Chains A and B, each alone.
Chain A
Amino acid sequence: MASETESEGLAFHPMDQFIVRPLFGGETVHWYTPTNATLWMALTILAVVLFFVTGTRGRAIVPSRIQSIAELGYGFVHKMVEDVAGKDALKFFPYIFTLFCFIVFSNFLGLLPRAFTTTSHIAVTAVMAVAVFLTVTIVGFVKNGAAFLGLFWVSSAPLALRPVLALIEVISYFVRPVSHSIRLAGNMMAGHAVIKVFAAFAPLVLISGIGVVVTPLSIIAITAMYGLEILVAFIQAYVFTILTCVYLKDALHPHH
């Protein structure tokens, strides 16, 4: 009896929040089914439109609050692209800014209670990372031709070391999309799962005497993790964007 209440009360399902469910009933998830992932992506689009279209409608010289946030984001990413990837990378700015906006708004929307974090799914981040990888590779070959392969041939190293370094460079080049996508998804997943685990401890006060100690601790831990997650939500979007810029710089200027 007690065992049953406890296993019901302290239910550790940290991964259940990531399950993709059809939005309007039904069981099977077809490729076109509107799911909770669809809903939160739609909310992301809505947030982007709200900030960057509705917020800037006034075109004020002295900006309103939302407009100044939009300008801040624009300036932030614009400067990042210009500083890291160079002036000639600015024609990729809308592309990079799209990725940044999607990630940052998905991350922050995913922090709302009961929300679904689209960026915690490998499928989502892998598509973005592979898109970046393909773009960078294609741009590199189109811009530089075969000279792009010079990226792997470290001419500043001793001659004997170069083949080894070339092998390492090639491997690290192809690992890029993997680490690029798993970093984002893993960070999001880890933080949310940890919050969920702490949250599962919180109702212990209803079941057992030890809960008098455990419950406040878990609530404090959830608060602390939430603060950390707010930081991580932004930093991961920043890191994804800046790595995209770094890869783009390699494609545009492949010489070490």
Chain B
Amino acid sequence: MEGDIVQMGAYIGAGLACMGMGGAAVGVGNVAGNFLAGALRNPSAAAGQTATLFIGIAFAEALGIFSFLVALLLMFAV
């Protein structure tokens, strides 16, 4: 019974951790959307900033991956 409760907690925690991915989604969307807004205003400068765009997306997304990792650890490793 005690093991079941631990199991339950782990799964609930995994589900909660997945909410972090929503934050990453917001972040990535924010980065891409702002890039697009800026690129439409000044299309000539857009080409030079795609590297920055991808770096920004990578940083925003890494945190979502961390929450995914926490979920996986709770599911499979705890």
Contact = CB atoms under 8 A, between A and B. Distances in A.
Q: Do chains A and B directly touch (beta carbons under 8 Å) in the complex?
A: yes
B11 interface: no
Interface in A193-235: 193, 235
Interface centre among B59, B62, B66, B69 (most CB of A within 10 A): B62
B51 interface: yes
Contacts of B19: none
B68 A190 contact: yes
Given A15-B76, A239-B58, A243-B58, A183 B65 contact: yes
B12 interface: no
A193 B61 CA distance: 17
B51 A183 contact: no
Contacts of B69: 182, 186
B12 to A, nearest CB: 18
A6 interface: no
Nearest to A187: B65
B56 to A, nearest CB: 10
Interface string B64-78: 011011001000100
Contact of A186 (B51, B54, B55, B68): B68
Interface residues of A, number: 18
Interface in A230-256: 235, 238-239, 242-243, 246
Contacts of B65: 182-183, 186-187, 190
A179 interface: yes
A127 B59 CA distance: 20
A243 B55 contact: yes
Interface in A167-197: 179, 182-183, 186-187, 189-190, 193
A187 B76 CA distance: 18
A166 interface: no
A230 B57 CA distance: 17
A88 interface: no
A183 B66 CA distance: 8
Nearest to B65: A186
A242 B54 CA distance: 9
Contacts of A187: 61, 65
Contacts of B68: 186, 190
Report, nearest first, the 6 A-B pairs whose CB atoms are least far apart. Answer: A186-B65, A239-B58, A183-B62, A179-B62, A190-B68, A186-B69
24 contacts: A15-B72, A80-B51, A83-B51, A84-B51, A179-B59, A182-B65, A182-B66, A182-B69, A183-B58, A183-B61, A183-B65, A186-B62, A186-B65, A186-B66, A186-B69, A187-B61, A187-B65, A189-B72, A190-B65, A235-B54, A239-B54, A239-B57, A242-B55, A243-B55
Given A179-B62, A243-B55, 14 more contacts: A15-B72, A80-B51, A83-B51, A84-B51, A182-B62, A182-B65, A183-B65, A186-B66, A186-B68, A187-B61, A190-B65, A235-B54, A238-B54, A242-B51
Interface of A: 15, 80, 83-84, 179, 182-183, 186-187, 189-190, 193, 235, 238-239, 242-243, 246
